[in-house]
Each structure stands twice: as structure tokens, then as C-alpha cells.
Chains A and B, each alone.
Chain A
Amino acid sequence: MKKIIFLLAVVVSGNFSTFAGYGNSFVFAQVRYRGNWDPYPYVWKDILNFLLTTTSIVVYPERVVVDLSDEKIFSLPFLFLLGRNDFSGFSWKERENLRRFIDRGGMLFIDDSSGWSGSDFSRLIQKELNQLFPEAPLRVIPLDSAIFRSYYLLRTVSGRVLVKDYLLGSTISGRPAIIYSYNDLLGTWAKDRMGNYLWECLPGGEKQRFEAQKLTLNIIMYALCGTYKSDAVHQPYIQEKLKQ
């Protein structure tokens, strides 16, 4: 059903990029590193489909895989970084590039796919980030942040497993430039070859899955709109809806 809707959306809106480069399209750009960088190789398709169906975002139709040492990251303002258990750290060049990328306005979303808070990935990557950005340590993102209101009005943090009920973020130049999820957000999109969801969402089931998918969309929308939904013109509407 969702595929039909997607095709209709494509036909009606023509949102696929028709130009050679990325242009101003949203690009699902994923970071490759030494370790288990790609636990969910195909989720990007469903995420892009969901964006096309639900929003006016124009997407680049293919996933772009990029190394942090590659200068190409400076044309891709939003990067996904997934990890499961192992993480052997960044090279000197990767650190340099990541620092410059964030300082110049780039945004990084890190999703821990292990499903538990004590994973090596979680520990090592957070250590790496704290060394890279000592002035902006990872802190809890409050629920009234624009991230939770950028498209859907979200009242909780979700994921495949509810390891933590919060997201972490590093605020640089007044904006959360790095967002970290413990809850394996992208795991809620993974499907088998028959199109069935691969993982059960615990403990909330399908309702939790949908909340996680909405959070994924919100994070992407936040990358493309910034704190737009914190503007004064939106507040009366948002407050009214939150009361309902």
C-alpha cells in the first residue's frame, strides 16, 4: 500500500531530483568507517519513501556513502553514522574533517544500533566526540526542542528499544549539530526481503515503531529547517495542539 502511495506521490509531485548533482535535495549520506558501519544497508529506501509520501522534501534517489576523510562531505550537510558494537576510532584526517564539517554548519546524526547503553560503540564514539568537541559535550536534548516539533508533535523519544528516554545533542554555535540516539532509531525501518519488519519494537510494539519513524522524519526535517518551529509565529498553534 505504501509503495502505491509512494508511486502516486512521485507522479503527482515529481519530487525526484532531475539534475545531475545533489542540488538542494536531501541526500541520505551515510558515513563509512572502520567497523560495523552499515547494520541496515537498505533502510534508506524506506526512509526516503516516507519523506516523499509525507512531506514536500525533495530527495536524492540514492544513498551516498562517504568517508569522513573525503572532501565530498563538504557538499553533504547532513550525515548519518550508524554503529553496533565496535568502533576503532577516527583517523587524524577524519577527525580534522569532522571538526571542520561541524564548525561550518554540518550536522551529524549518530544512531547506536546495539540496543543497549553499555555498548563499545556507545562508549568509544562518545569518547571520540568529547575529545573532538570538548567545548560542546553531549547533553540531553529537552522535549521542547524544535527537533520534537519540526514536523510531528512528539511527546516522547522512541526507537527500536527504549534504552534511554532522551536524545543527546552537542550544541555548537547555538544549534544541536550532533544528535545521538541510544535507541536504534533506524532499526525500526529494517525489513526482510518479503517486506516485513525485521525487528520487534520493545516494549511498545507497532505504536512505538511509528513513533520512532516519526522521530526519524523530525530529525531530518530539523536538519533542513533548523529551529523554524521555535519561531514565535508557530507557538500559539503548537501550544494549543499540545494541550489537546
Chain B
Amino acid sequence: MKKVRILVFLSLLIYLLNPSRKIYEKQKPVLAIALDTSRSFELSGRLKEARNFLRKNFPRLAEEYEVKIYCFGDGVQEISFANLEKCPVFPRTAISEALRTIRRLNSDNLSAILLLSDGQENVDTSFSLEEVLKNEVGVPVNIVSFENISFRDIAIARLQYPETTFRNMPARVLMGVRINGFGPENVQVQLEKDDKVVQKKVVTAGGLKSYFEAEFVLDTSQTGNFNYAVRVLPGKGEISYQNNYQKFSLKVLREQLRVLYICGQPGYDYAFRRLVWKNNPGIDLVSFVILRNPENVTLVPDKDLSLIPFPAYDIFSKDLKRFDVLVIENFDFARFGVPRKHFENLVEWVRQGGGLLLIGGPKAFFGGGYNLTALADILPVEMVADAEQMIPGEFSVKPKNYNFPILQLSPDIKENIRIWENLPLLDTTQKLIPARDKKAEILLTHPTAVIAAKEVVVMAGSDFGRGRIVVFGSPTSFRWALGAETPQYYRVFWENVIRYLSHNEPGLVVLKDRQQVYEGQSVNFTVKPLVAISPKAKLEVSVFQPDRKLAMFKEEVARKGEEFFYQQQFLDRGRYLVKFILRDGRVIAQKETEVEVVPDYFLEEKNLETNSGLLFRLANVTQGRFYPGFPEELKLNTRQIKMRILQRRSYIPAEILFGIVVISLLGEWIYRRLYGLW
């Protein structure tokens, strides 16, 4: 019995181990040819050359390999050698995705890839081509790039420009131009601003293939967003004009707001307001205070005084345009030799974008003779002709429009009203009434004083041309600092005034991660508010199509801290409008930005050169060979293909082992029955 048991056990063991022998079959290695049929490869004539190359080498390669041909661009399609001329032309190039696909389609017996491409990949991917080749392809990639093909093309190969700069800071744009297929000749390059040529240069470029650079200096005398383009005039018979120009934008920011403050006499109001603006790092304050009138007696020689001459002429003529905001407080201009004619310069300066603030006092407005100047026609108030210019007594102001930017001391509506209601009383204000027939915003009035049946205006604002004017009639706003439980609103108020006058209202900064957008690409927007916001603040976004129909609306975009993030894909070409609105119950700020989406064939035609550097690195990483030109003799690096296991044969068939086990067990059973061993 023991021997039977051992036999059964051995049979089972042999069955489990299954000693067997493998029968191998040698298989023909596969060579996958990845043929770039994107627009850039075709346009440059390289595709034609690649077809010639394949016709020459295919018979020899087919003897040694099982050759499979794949056309690729931003897709992959297998074709037969007979249909080489019928490859589809793809609008874009995705080399890495093509190689991954080809690898997946050919599993174990792929020995090498032969890549025929210019290396200009232009599809966004989240991985790098080198990573794909190293980790996923796993076979040598041999590359031929047909670099030496000649074609006629002049292209902007490089463009370097600042996206933002500060006013009056030097800014330059550098363009690199590559010339293919033209002999030595004059090439004209030009800088365009808002589609008008502003600068031109002519360069003599030599040789059949050459590269030169040209630089233009950009005008930064004005702030704002400006659309530029650089263009190189096309040569005769060029294969592509799409790469002859490139657009870019330049944003010119204020370095600091330049504020000129002229005060007719020393006073607490000047001291407090000056401190607010001086402590603001965004404001460059230049002030002149008349410390001494002509009739004052100092009893010391001039060298013992810190007084400087008041440059009245310079300020009101040539220096004025250096400033963004002019503040005139209680200044008797006639006593300091400022002719009335200078006020015409001042009016023109406001029209061209300057911000003017007039502050009341006995020598301001009618009291200073301003009614006889050109300013009288543009002020948002009417000056009352009265020898007694000031209305005496303390009073609380009456806001007329809490939503006006200057009066928004808090982003919360109810809090804003509460702040205004609790501000300390002012003391005296100028006799000013609303101007007739003028579009002005009356902001603050006296609660009770009335002149000619009109409320006395304490504060008013208006636009004039591209500029703005604000008048503030009381010379005692310092009380809003000294007398207030929360004196910071005094600072907020006067900063709001400067911001309003300089068109620098609380806004949003919108940053885009790409300036040139092609069909199908996504743009990542980062939006930063220029004011402090509460945790409840939300940013909504609306995207309008080129025909200005609403394409997308999102009520709340992602927020991290004080910044908001949004991504939008643009499928079709055209000029889109993206509008951001920041809300915290009400609208705090908003900003629009345009996104121009260009056809994706622009991508292919933009650069017709080969990316030899990349292709060389790729061949190296995969241990393939790299041929920059048309190889005379093609040799490939390949991977050793393992023989395929055709069959496994067991030394002892399983059926026999099974039979041994069954017979053994049956025999034992019979034996036990016969001899009664249960």
C-alpha cells in the first residue's frame, strides 16, 4: 500500500511540475516606418524627398524585415507601400503620440522604428517626447530629417519682446529672420502698430541660407495695451507667407502715478492729505506750498530760508505733461505770475487725459479768480460770485451716490453707508452749485445750504475729453482722520480720488499663459484683483464667440487665496472676448480681454526648418541612428527579436499521469475490499 501511495504522490508532483520542452520558431522582425505627412513636411518638399527615399530603400528593407508604413501628423494611419502617394496630409504634428501608437500596434516583434520627420512637434502634450521614447517605445528610433532640402522661404524665426513695461522705460523687440533659397538681396522688415507701419529697416542678407536679426525700439510714452506686429516683406516665389509676420502685445504700465500738488498756504488739510499720498508707494508726489506771500517779511537773508522759487511758468507749460494728476488747493494764481493763458494749457492737458483736483478755500474758485479762466468752462460746478466765499459752520456731508468709485470706502454696501454716516463733521465749504448743462456727477452736498434754489455742492466729478476733474469744496477733510474712530477711511477716500482721476480704478489683472493661440489650444487665465477682497468674493467668466454670441458662462471660477484660475479651450479661429466680473454681492471690478485664435495651419507654416537638435537627441536616447540629410547607405540600429515559442511539449503527458493516479487509487480500493482492511 505504501508503494501505491508513493506512486500516486509522485504522479501528482510530476503533473504539477510539468517538465516539458519548448519548441521555438524564428520570426521576421518588424520595422515600422513613421512617415511625417504634416503640412510643414509637405510644404518644404521633404515629404517628396522622403517618398523617393522609401522607393529606393523599401525592396532591400522588405527582405530583412516585415515593413509596416504609418503616416502620421496629429493622427496615425497605416498604408501600404503601393499607396505611398495617397498619404493624408495632417494639419499638425504629434510625433510622440504617433510613436506610442505605433509601439502599441506592434508588440513583441517590433525591432526598430524609422522616423522620417522634420521634428517640429506642435501639439500640446503633458509628457515629453524623450520620456515617451525612453519609457514606452523601447526600441531604437532611427531618424532621417532631410535637412538639406532647399526651398524658397523667408520666415521670422525668432521674436523676443517684453509683454509689459513701465512708461518711459526703454523697450525693444528683437526679430530673427531666416532666409532660405534666396541669393544676397535687400530684405525689408517693419514694425506695425495697430496695423500701421511705424518703423522700417532694410537689411542686406547674403547667401542661399542666412539668418539675421533686427531690433526695433517701442514707444512707451503712453500707458495702455498696444497691439504690434513685425513683418518681413515676402520674397518672390516663397512657399509660405504665414511665417512672414507675427503679432504681439505690449502693456505699458505706470511706474508710479505722478501727482503735482500746488497748495496756496500751509494748513492742516495739506499736511494730512500729503501724508496719505506720500505714504502710498504707487504715488510719486511733487508738491509746492506757498509758504510766503510777496508782502511777507522774513527779516533774514535768503540764504537762511529754505524757500525755493515757485516755478509757475514751468509747471503750467512744459512740465505739466509729466504728471498724471494736478491738485490745486486754495492757490491765488494771479499773485504768483501765472497768466490766465496757462489755464488753456491746463484745459488741453485734462482733455488729453490728465486728472485735475481743485480743493476749496478763500482763494480757490471765484475767490482766486478761476471764474475768469478757461477752467470755468469745464468744471462740474458753477462758482458762486460772492465776496464771502466760504459757508461757515460745521456740517455732515450728504452722499449722493454710494456706488461711485470715489465714495466706496468699503466693498460692502451696508458697511459703506454706515461709514459715511459716521464720518466726523466738516467745517466750512466753498460756495459751489451744480453746473448748468453739464454732465457731472454730484457726489457730496451740504445738508442744508442752498444757493439759487440749488444744493451747495461739496464734491463733484466729471469727465472731460480723456481726462477727469474733481472738485472738493471743504478745506477741512483732515477731520475725517483726526476725528474718526476709524481714521483709515480718510486715506481710502483720498486714494480713491487719485485712482479715479488717473483712470486707475480698482480693477483686475488678467494674465494669459500664451499670447498666440491656435485652433484647439487651451489658454490658462490667472486673474488677480488690484484691491483686497473678502472670502465671499467670486469671479464669474463669460466667453463670447467671434460673432459676439455667448459661448460659455461660469458663475464661479476656481480661487486660491487672492487669485482666480480659469482654463478655456478655443476650437475655432477668430477673435474671442473673455469677460471677468468680480462680485461680492455687487460688482467690484471687471476686465475684458481678447483672445485671437489663428488657424492651426499657421502652426505648421510658421517654422519650416528641421528641429535637428531634438531629432539627434531622440536618436541618442533610443540608441538609434540619426541622418540629417538623405543617407547614401541606410544602416539601422535594431533590437534583437526573441524567437517565438511555437509549442511546449511535456515529457510525460498529463493523460498518462492521470491514468496512473486513477489506476493506483482503484487498485488500492480493490485490495482493501478483498482483504477487509477498512
Q: Is A126 an interface residue (CB 8 A)?
A: no
Q: Is the CB of A23 within 8 A of B287?
A: no
Q: Is the CB of B297 within 8 A of A55?
A: no
Map CB proximity to A onto B261-297 as digits: 1 under 8 Å, 0 otherwise.
0001111111110110011000001111111110111
Q: Is the CB of A105 within 8 A of B272?
A: yes
Q: Is the CB of B265 within 8 A of A56?
A: yes
Interchain Cβ contacts under 8 Å between A and B, 27 examples:
A18-B362, A18-B388, A20-B393, A21-B393, A21-B476, A26-B266, A53-B297, A54-B296, A55-B266, A57-B266, A74-B482, A75-B479, A104-B487, A105-B487, A152-B306, A153-B304, A221-B266, A224-B270, A225-B266, A225-B271, A225-B291, A226-B274, A227-B278, A228-B289, A237-B308, A241-B303, A241-B304
Provided the pairs A228-B274, A234-B306 are in contact, do residues A105 and B362 lie with their beta carbons within 8 angstroms? no
> Which segment, of A5-13, A131-139, A192-200, faces chain B?
A5-13
Interface hits, A10-43 → B, CB 8 Å: 12-13, 18-26
Q: Is B461 an interface residue (CB 8 A)?
A: no
Q: Please, which residues of chain B bring their CB within 8 A of the CB of A223?
A: 268, 271
Give the CA-CA distance A8 to B305 in the complex, in Å.
22
Q: Is the CB of B293 within 8 A of A56?
A: yes
Closest 3 CB pairs of A and B: A20-B392, A224-B266, A24-B475
Give the CA-CA distance A227 to B289 in the complex, in Å.
12
Chain A interfacial positions (CB closer than 8 Å to B): 5, 8-9, 12-13, 18-26, 53-58, 74-75, 77-78, 101, 103-106, 149-153, 174-175, 214, 221, 223-229, 231, 233-234, 237-238, 241, 244
Q: Please, which residues of chain A bring their CB within 8 A of the CB of B482?
A: 74-75, 77, 101, 104-106
Provided the pairs A23-B390, A56-B265, A57-B265 are in contact, do residues A12 and B295 lie with their beta carbons within 8 angstroms? yes
Provided the pairs A78-B268, A229-B306 are in contact, do residues A55 and B427 lie with their beta carbons within 8 angstroms? no
Q: Please, which residues of chain B bring their CB within 8 A of the CB of A105?
A: 272, 275, 478, 481-482, 487
Question: What residue of chain A has the Cβ atom nearest to residue B478's Cβ?
Answer: A77
Give the CA-CA distance A122 to B267 in the complex, in Å.
30
Q: Is the CB of A152 within 8 A of B293?
A: no
Q: Please, which residues of chain A bring their CB within 8 A of the CB of B476?
A: 21, 23-24
Give the shortest distance, in Å, between A136 (CB) and chain B (any CB). Answer: 16
Give the CA-CA distance A237 to B302 in the complex, in Å.
11
Provided the pairs A56-B293, A151-B305 are in contact, do residues A24 and B298 lie with their beta carbons within 8 angstroms? no
Q: Is B424 an interface residue (CB 8 A)?
A: yes
Provided the pairs A77-B272, A105-B487 are in contact, do residues A244 and B303 lie with their beta carbons within 8 angstroms? yes
Q: Please, which residues of chain B bring their CB within 8 A of the CB of A103?
A: 487
Interface residues on B, range: 35 or more
Provided the pairs A20-B393, A241-B306 are in contact, do residues A224 and B428 lie with their beta carbons within 8 angstroms? no
Give the shortest distance, in Å, between A149 (CB) and chain B (any CB). Answer: 4
Interface hits, B360-416 → A, CB 8 Å: 361-362, 388, 390, 392-394
Q: Is B299 an interface residue (CB 8 A)?
A: yes
Q: Is the CB of B304 within 8 A of A152?
A: yes
Question: What residue of chain A has the Cβ atom nearest to residue B269's Cβ?
Answer: A24
Give the shortest distance, in Å, between B358 (CB) and chain A (any CB). Answer: 15
Across the interface, B428 reaches (CB within 8 A) one of A21, A53, A150, A231, namely A21
Q: Is B670 an interface residue (CB 8 A)?
A: no
Q: Is the CB of A24 within 8 A of B267?
A: yes
Q: Please, which residues of chain B bring their CB within 8 A of the CB of A228?
A: 274, 287, 289
Map CB proximity to A onto B69-99 as digits: 1 under 8 Å, 0 otherwise.
0000000000000000000000000000000
Give the shortest distance, in Å, between A212 (CB) and chain B (any CB). Answer: 14
Q: Is the CB of B275 within 8 A of A55?
A: no
Q: Is the CB of B296 within 8 A of A21?
A: no
Provided the pairs A19-B428, A21-B394 are in contact, do residues A153 and B481 lie with their beta carbons within 8 angstroms? no
Q: Is the CB of A149 within 8 A of B306?
A: yes
Q: Is the CB of A54 within 8 A of B297?
A: yes
Q: Please, which residues of chain B bring their CB within 8 A of the CB of A23?
A: 390, 392, 427-428, 475-476
Map CB proximity to A onto B420-436 as digits: 1 under 8 Å, 0 otherwise.
00001001100000000
Q: Is the CB of A54 within 8 A of B298?
A: yes
Q: Is the CB of A56 within 8 A of B388?
A: no
Question: What residue of chain B has the Cβ atom nearest to residue A107's Cβ?
Answer: B271
Q: Is B300 an interface residue (CB 8 A)?
A: yes
Q: Please, which residues of chain A bring their CB within 8 A of the CB of B299?
A: 54
Give the CA-CA distance A99 to B305 in the complex, in Å.
34
Question: What residue of chain B has the Cβ atom nearest to residue A220's Cβ?
Answer: B266
Q: Please, which residues of chain A bring their CB within 8 A of the CB of B303?
A: 153, 241, 244
Q: Please, which residues of chain A bring their CB within 8 A of the CB of B487?
A: 103-105
Give the CA-CA distance A103 to B271 in the complex, in Å.
15
Q: Please, which residues of chain B bring their CB within 8 A of the CB of A104?
A: 481-484, 487
Provided the pairs A24-B267, A57-B265, A244-B303 are in contact, do residues A75 and B483 lie with their beta carbons within 8 angstroms? yes
Q: Please, which residues of chain B bring their CB within 8 A of the CB of A151?
A: 291, 305-307
Give the shortest distance, in Å, between B131 (CB) and chain A (any CB). Answer: 55
Interface hits, B556-580 → A, CB 8 Å: none
Give the CA-CA distance A206 to B295 in the complex, in Å.
25
Q: Please, which residues of chain A bring their CB within 8 A of the CB of B330?
A: 24
Q: Please, which residues of chain A bring their CB within 8 A of the CB of B289?
A: 225, 228
Give the CA-CA distance A9 to B296 in the complex, in Å.
7
Give the CA-CA distance A30 to B115 in the complex, in Å.
93
Q: Please, which residues of chain B bring their CB within 8 A of the CB of A58?
A: 265, 267, 362
Q: Please, which residues of chain A bring their CB within 8 A of the CB of B291?
A: 55-56, 151, 221, 225
Q: Please, which residues of chain B bring their CB within 8 A of the CB of A25?
A: 267
Q: Is the CB of A56 within 8 A of B306?
A: no
Q: Please, which residues of chain B bring their CB within 8 A of the CB of A153?
A: 303-306
Give the shortest distance, in Å, between B227 (CB) and chain A (any CB). Answer: 37
Q: Is the CB of B275 within 8 A of A226?
A: yes
Q: Please, which residues of chain A bring their CB within 8 A of the CB of B484?
A: 104
Give the shortest distance, in Å, between A64 (CB) and chain B (any CB). Answer: 13
Question: What residue of chain B has the Cβ atom nearest to residue A237's Cβ?
Answer: B308
Q: Is the CB of A55 within 8 A of B292?
A: yes
Question: What residue of chain B has the Cβ atom nearest to residue A57's Cβ?
Answer: B266
Q: Please, which residues of chain A bring their CB within 8 A of the CB of B302?
A: 241
Q: Please, which residues of chain B bring their CB within 8 A of the CB of A150?
A: 306
Q: Please, which residues of chain B bring their CB within 8 A of the CB of A19?
A: 390, 392-393, 428
Q: Is the CB of B290 within 8 A of A56?
A: yes
Give the shortest distance, in Å, between A210 (CB) and chain B (any CB). Answer: 8
Give the shortest distance, in Å, between A147 (CB) and chain B (any CB). Answer: 11
Across the interface, B271 reaches (CB within 8 A) one of A53, A77, A234, A244, namely A77
Give the CA-CA distance A244 to B292 in the complex, in Å.
22
Give the CA-CA distance A12 to B332 in the complex, in Å.
14
Give the shortest distance, in Å, between A88 (CB) and chain B (any CB). Answer: 27
Across the interface, B267 reaches (CB within 8 A) one of A106, A224, A227, namely A224
Q: Please, which residues of chain A bring their CB within 8 A of the CB of B361?
A: 24
Interface hits, B291-326 → A, CB 8 Å: 291-293, 295-300, 302-308
